[in-house]
Amino acid sequence: MIPYGKHHIDEDDIQAVVDILRSNFLTQGPAVEAFEKAVAEYAGVKYAVAVSSGTAALHLAALAAGVGPGKSVVTSPITFVASANAAKYCGADVVFADIDPETINISPDALREVLLKNANIKAVVPVHFAGLPCDMIAIKNLADDAGVFVIEDAAHALGATYPNGKRVGCSENSLMTIFSFHPVKAISAGEGGMITTNDEATYRKLIRLRSHGINKLDDLLQVEEEAFADGDQNPWYYEMQELGFHYRITDIQCGLALSQFKKLDAFINRRRDLVKKYDLAFAKMRNCRPAQTKGRNESGHHLYVL
Q: Which domains, from first to last, does the chain contain?
A: 11-210+245-263 (3.40.640.10)
- Is residue 257 predicted with pLDDT exceeding 90? yes
What sign does the dihedral 28-34-38-43 (CA atoms) show? Answer: positive
Instruction: Give the pLDDT score at 190.
Output: 96
- Is residue 231 predicted with pLDDT exceeding 90? no
Q: What is the pLDDT of residues 153-207, one digit of tens each?
A: 999 999 999 999 999 999 999 999 999 999 999 999 999 999 999 999 999 999 9
Instruction: Give the pLDDT score at 233.
Output: 87
Distance CA(108)–CA(114), nearest Å, equals 10
User: Could you please report the per-residue DSSP string of 245-289?
Assistant: -B-PPBHHHHHHHHHHHTTHHHHHHHHHHHHHHHHHHHTT-SS--
Section 125-134 average pLDDT:
98
User: Residue 171 to residues 75, 117, 179: CA-CA distances in angstroms?
Assistant: 17, 27, 12
Q: Evaluate if pTM is beyond 0.85.
A: yes
